[in-house]
Structure 1
Amino acid sequence: MAIIVGAGPSGLATAASLSFHSIPYIILEREDCSASVWKKYSYDRLHLHLDKQISALPHLQFPDSYPKFVSRKEFISYLDDYFSHFKINPSYRRCVELAEFDEATEKWIVKARNLDSNQVEEFIERFLIVATGETCDPYTADMQGLKSFPGDVLHSTQYRNGKALETRKLWLSGRIHIVSKEILELGVKLSGYIPVNVADWLVGMVSQVLPTISNIRGSEVEFENSETHAFDTIVFCTGFKRSTHLWLKGDDCLLNEDGIAKQSFPNHWKGEIGCPEEDCLGQTLMRKT
């Protein structure tokens, strides 16, 4: 039997693939639903920015009626159908606190806290598959003067749509690019012929990057080019921090202190003691735009 940590798209895909080969498994998921990033922490107008032909999970294609670029609502519906089709049954609200390999038994010992009972449960199996993704823990930068800001401060995972913010002056914190529609479409086309990260890099090279922030004084935000503007709300689009390396022990060759794979592609996913990582190593199964 295999232990899968995470019930996002890659965790579901792993479960379906194991079922396809009649391999038993258990899924541990810290949220109360599958694909929680898509269902609970994504904005309404989110779409996959890759063609549906290369974005479907294993063993089940998107419906023919779906558009080329699948919307959040459609993707969630597809994931729910996928979930039902393969009869996937995760153990929800299990937060993994430790996973270590026991040399004597040659098995993984995984300890997860049941967030409902607050009890620690132990699972012992031969295989461990980490499918926690890149979006583990929202990251908010600790900027100088941020505590003095009187308005709302949000992470992008809390943003759904602009309705509540339509009368406010908004600052999006992060590496902000101004990209034309034509350049974005070119990047999508290039991703069909070259690695996605290379296409992203090329788009970044030809897009305009706004200056970073130097200081915040109340509602006034000062940029590195000495410009100052007043804002009502700050939305941090600063991404996520991986936390896998904090609880995954016993395979030091796999992750560095930032949770990034030490090994280069194509061996980035495999640990020396048999711990495959589906998508926490920077090669995500599904990407967002």
Structure 2
Amino acid sequence: MKESTVVIVGGGPSGLAISACLTKNLISHIILEKEDCYASLWRKNAYDRLNLHLASEFCSLPLMPHPPSGPTYLSKDQFLQYIDNYVQHFNINPRYCRVVKSAMYDKVRSKWSVEANNTKEGIFEVYEAKFLVIATGENSEGYIPNVHGLDTFEGDILHSKYYKSGSKYESKEVLVVGCGNSGMEIAFDLHNWGAKPSIVIRSPLHVFTKELIRQGMHMVKYLPVHTVDTILILLAKLKYGDLSKHGIYRPKVGPLHLKNITGKSAVIDVGTIQKIKEGAIKVVASGIKRIEKKKVVFADNTEKEFDAIVFATGYKSVANEWLKDYKYALNDKGMPKNGYPNHWKGENGLYCAGLARRGLWGVKVDAEAIAEDITQTLM
């Protein structure tokens, strides 16, 4: 058995951020990471053209801001370099290839017992700690909806987590399901590679440039949210015009308020909207009714054949599968049971980080709050 004050499950940005904060406060801790590297989602599962949509001042981890002289918007490679520097600076040493199978709270001893498979050495390990931090993130496992006939589809099926580029889909008909930032950017990338993309857009969504979002995030420091929302919507109308003629409708709730109450982000346009206006990217306004071999039948009874389907339908937390006492902090869907901004703290020394749907800025805030709470508890 290996003992530590804190066990952190997950070696992504959330786990690394908490480690840095705990190191600063001289608190012993262990990071258990199932992959063979830290930040594995960024290294292994990010598509090639990915860039950070938010300005760098909103994308730093605790104790190491990006330099003002650096780029305003970071590429994937630039962000990974930042992560590498972060790990080196704070001497963070995750234990890799540790797949956590069970975590339970012993009320008698007031300790968490964590069992993990060391897949590299083929052995079973047990860790014990006063505090347990869930840092597996909200993007741990790709979610693909249960579509009637999907198992009969004769083309490629993949989740956006495994999409790299559209290079293999030149001249192919590709359906993108999901109109969040990933879905919209993948549709644009497919077009750039010569594919013929269509994208399912059923729900209302806000669309902005990254510069508008940056301005809004600064304005909200000084103005009420509803005022900033009104300004942003006006500027978006001036930029894009009426998008309803292209199948895109704006929600009744403003973008920042919508983010606060639901966690749903606005779409940051990378060029997709212009291609939709030109007809190069087709909008499908109905959901999928069923699939018959290569044919997709939509809810409005229109149909079309596709060579591939990319599901940009989000992720699901899998923490409930190994965290036996998850109800101390999580709901049945593996997300925080407490509302924002108290989402990060559970009971009996259980915490969760990076599950507030607030990006890297949310990761930073969570890590600082968790480390401070643990420090105060130990005093």
Q: Same fold (TM over 0.5)?
A: yes
SS of residue in 2 equivalent to 1:37: helix
1:256 to 331, 355, 370: 331
TM-score (norm 1): 0.89
Greater helix proportion:
2
Change in CA separation of 1:180 and 1:99 when aligned onto 2, cut-off 3 Å: closer
Q: How many pairs are equivalent?
A: 285
Q: What is the match of residue 30 of structure 1?
A: 34
1:224 to 289, 295, 299: 299
Q: 1:38 offset after TM fit, Å? A: 0.4
Q: 1:36 offset after TM fit, Å? A: 0.5
**CA offsets 1:254-280 (integer angstroms, 9 cap, x no match):** 211111222112221111211111113
Q: Is the 8 A contact 2:103 2:324 kept in 1?
A: yes
Q: What is the match of residue 190 of structure 1?
A: 216
Indicate yes or no: 2:314 matched with 1:239. Answer: yes
Aligned residue type for 1:4 = I
Indicate yes or no: 2:176 matched with 1:101. Answer: no
2:351 to 259, 264, 276: 276
2:44 to 20, 31, 40: 40
Aligned residue type for 2:18 = T
**CA offsets 1:208-241 (integer angstroms, 9 cap, x no match):** 8832111111111111122211111111111212
Mapped partners of 2:64, 2:210: distance in 1: 28
Indicate yes or no: 2:150 matched with 1:122. Answer: no
Q: Is the 8 A contact 2:16 2:87 kept in 1?
A: yes
SS of residue in 1 equivalent to 2:78: helix
Q: What is the match of residue 94 of structure 2?
A: 90
Indicate yes or no: 2:31 matched with 1:21. Answer: no
**CA offsets 1:100-155 (integer angstroms, 9 cap, x no match):** 11112111111111112332210011111111100111122221111221111111
Change in CA separation of 1:109 and 1:279 when aligned onto 2, cut-off 3 Å: same
Q: 1:82 offset after TM fit, Å? A: 0.7
Aligned residue type for 2:90 = F
Change in CA separation of 1:90 and 1:10 when aligned onto 2, cut-off 3 Å: same
Structure 2 alignment gaps of length 5 or more: 180-199, 226-255, 268-272, 274-282, 363-379
Mapped partners of 2:94, 2:113: distance in 1: 18
Q: What is the match of residue 213 of structure 1?
A: 288
Structural mapping, 1:109-148, within 5 Å = 109-148=113-152
Q: What is the match of residue 165 of structure 2?
A: 161
Mapped partners of 2:139, 2:264: distance in 1: 20
Mapped partners of 2:90, 2:309: distance in 1: 41
Aligned residue type for 1:223 = F
Structure 1 alignment gaps of length 5 or more: none
Q: Which has the larger radius of gyration?
A: 2
TM-score (norm 2): 0.69
Structural mapping, 1:59-78, within 5 Å = 59-78=63-82
Aligned residue type for 1:13 = A
Aligned residue type for 1:268 = H
